[in-house]
Amino acid sequence: MGIEQWNIELWVNPNGSCYIERDILKKMKSKDPFVYGSLEEKMNQYVNNPIENAQKLQILKKVKSQSYMWELVFSLSKSEIRFLGCLAQETDNHTFYALVGFRKKDQEIKSKYTKIAKSRISEFISYYHQNELQKLL
């Protein structure tokens, strides 16, 4: 198996809502443009490397005991941003679909975020199966 590339999508649901924009990114853009700019830069930096590197460095990891839930970690100068979402695979490309975004303050993911992620993952999977998209990991 060769080295596989990946990308990050902020999922827009069938109603046209982007949860990540609503959860965290709009606030970040207005309150701290520097952090938001750093986040965009980090996202581009990470996806330019193979997905295997992201997993080795634990930037992208499966959330224990949660079906289809993955965590994407960005360490910025002022804080740590986390996304919860789904990882899907096409032929030679993986896509991380971000469904929940938050600033990380503790070691563990707060249960409120996993609850939100579970409901959004259910919605995503329903959409996914209706549209026969790629394989979920």
Distance, in Å, from the CA atom of 83 to the CA atom of 99, rounded to the nearest integer, reads 7
Distance, in Å, from the CA atom of 5 to the CA atom of 49, rounded to the nearest integer, reads 7
What mean pLDDT value characterizes the chain?
A: 85
How far from the centroid of its chain's Cα atoms is residue 100's Cα? Answer: 7
- Assigned token pair, 128: 């996914």
> Domain spans of the chain?
5-136
Higher pLDDT, 84 or 36: 84
Position 3 pLDDT exceeds 80: no
Query: What per-residue confidence (pLDDT) applies to 100?
Result: 93
Geometric angle at alpha carbon 54, from 66 and 27, rounded to 5°: 75
Q: What is the pTM of this model?
A: 0.87
Distance, in Å, from the CA atom of 27 to the CA atom of 29, rounded to the nearest integer, reads 6
Q: What share of the chain is helix, strand, coil (3-state, %, to 5)?
A: 40, 30, 30
pLDDT tens for 57-81 read: 889 999 988 889 999 998 887 778 8
Distance, in Å, from the CA atom of 29 to the CA atom of 35, rounded to the nearest integer, reads 8
